[in-house]
Amino acid sequence: MLHLLFLKGTLGVKRFITTWDVHQECRHEPLSFYWSRSAVKLFNSMLYTNYSDTLRRVVQADLNLQPRSSACCTAQLLSAFQGLRGRELYVRAVQTGRAIPVQEFTVDLKHRMRGV
């Protein structure tokens, strides 16, 4: 909240200007952008970990749980793909246990954010 007030003061705008407008003017990405990108990177790293066979099995169990539960990590990750141009590609990658192309995902996510 203090950070937002600082940005509004620096820009010289009224207090009722929306948070979204202030962040766009300052070229700040919304927190959901960072969450989504970090979630994809975490998913990819868990798929190909060399350190823990248990972790790979947990990821596989979560993938198997996804059709029956919206509370599992995989279901939440899949919900982050809503509205993306490459949604089918990302969903297919998750469902088959392959890595999601982070560069393409990031570009797609930025495009969706600009369209909001």
Examine residue 1 and state whether it is found in any structural domain, yes or no.
no
Task: Quote the longest CA-to-CA distance of the chain.
Answer: 54
Examine residue 4 and state whether it is found in any structural domain, yes or no.
no
Distance CA(81)–CA(77), nearest Å, equals 7
Examine residue 48 and state whether it is found in any structural domain, yes or no.
yes
Own/partner pairs for 17-24, CB < 8 Å, 24+ apart?
A: 20/116
| Phi, psi (rounded to 5 degrees) for 111 | -60, -45
Please give the residue range of the domain that contains residue 101.
31-115
Q: Is the pLDDT of residue 113 over 80?
A: no
Examine residue 41 and state whether it is found in any structural domain, yes or no.
yes
pLDDT score recorded for residue 10? 83
Examine residue 10 and state whether it is found in any structural domain, yes or no.
no
Digit-coded pLDDT (tens) for 71-96: 888 888 898 898 899 999 999 999 88
Is residue 63 a contact partner of residue 97, using CB atoms and an 8 Å limit? Answer: yes
Q: Which distant-in-sequence residues (6+ apart) come within 8 Å of 45 by Cβ?
A: none
Examine residue 74 and state whether it is found in any structural domain, yes or no.
yes
Number of structural domains in the chain? 1
Examine residue 6 and state whether it is found in any structural domain, yes or no.
no
14 token code pair: 């009224």
Examine residue 103 and state whether it is found in any structural domain, yes or no.
yes
Distance CA(87)–CA(81), nearest Å, equals 5
**Predicted model pTM:** 0.69
Digit-coded pLDDT (tens) for 28-87: 666 677 888 888 999 998 888 777 888 888 888 988 888 888 888 888 889 889 889 999
Task: Return the percent helix, strand and coil in the chain, to nearest 5.
Answer: 70, 0, 30
pLDDT score recorded for residue 86? 93
